[in-house]
Amino acid sequence: MRSKIVAGNWKMNKNLAETKALIADLVAKLPETNAEVMVAPTFVNLTNAVDGVKSSKIEVLAQNMHFAESGAYTGEISADMLINIGINTVILGHSERRAYFGETDDILAKKVKTALDKNLRVMFCFGEELEDRKSGNHFSLVESQLKNALFSLPESAWSNIVLAYEPVWAIGTGETASPEQAQEMHAFIRKTIADAYNAEVADNVSILYGGSVKPANAKEIFSKEDVDGGLIGGAALAADDFVAIINGI
Ligand code: PEP
């Protein structure tokens, strides 16, 4: 059975004091929910965030990691370093990593493999640019992103993968895919996985939607059959908004 998930990607926001305050606020306001609730602060504040969520069901995620075990990779963070501070899940393939830091499908395939080999759960992000959608290329683009980074993995790896479909044109723009557009793509993703593996793998993988999800639109998006929750950027930076989104699931 796939789980419902609401995850907040804090990106390069919140200093240490702000991180502690937001975590404390979330822990205090977290509603009763069957959904998994996750937050991804910046690397330097992960340890404090892990401490801060201890009395709650909130999980702390990392926003990225390197594919190498260790070594001469100045400025990078390894899977073991994350595990060592109590992180169990890492976001990989966010569109900002792809666009601003040159992360290709090949690099992401290596990162995914390392993370899974280390028993980290992977939240894998992917999605089309506006030009892809305008030209009608969005389904094949999404299919190729999945195929290139994930489809060489054995079936057993899929129990440790969460997908986050994030159309790039909807991230941080205020422009949201309509619930119907989200459902259409999520159903396509599930079918693509069923074709590459089987129906059981496809049915059991959680597929989150990301892209300008707000308290006002969360419930409708989350109501769609193949949408299992959301990856939230801007609206995850205020406890009341994030809680309202959690309440939409
Ligand atoms: C994101 O960056 O993953 C995201 C979905 O951002 P926003 O909610 O701000 O569009």
15-24 pLDDT, tens digit per residue, is 999 999 999 9
Q: pLDDT, tens digit, for every residue of 186-212?
A: 999 999 999 999 999 999 999 999 999
- Which residue, judged by its Cα, is nearest atom 4 of ligand 1? 233
Using CA positions, which residue lies closest to atom 3 of ligand 1? Answer: 233
The answer, as to whether pTM is greater than 0.95, is: yes
pLDDT confidence tier of residue 172, bands split at 50, 70 and 90: confident
∠ CA(161), CA(6), CA(201), 5° rounding? 30
Supply the residues annotated as catalytic.
94, 166
Atom of ligand 1 nearest to the CA of 235: 8
Whether 65 contacts 111, CB under 8 Å: yes
Q: Is 206 in the pocket of ligand 1 (CB under 6 A)?
A: no
Q: State in Å: Cα 71 to ligand 1 middle.
A: 32
Q: What is the mean pLDDT of residues 115-143?
A: 96
Distance 223 CA to ligand 1 centre (A): 19
Total residues found in the chain within this entry: 249
The pLDDT-based confidence of 175 (bands split at 50, 70, 90) is confident
User: pLDDT tens, 205-237?
Assistant: 999 999 999 999 999 999 999 999 999 999 999
Across residues 35-42, what is the average pLDDT? 98
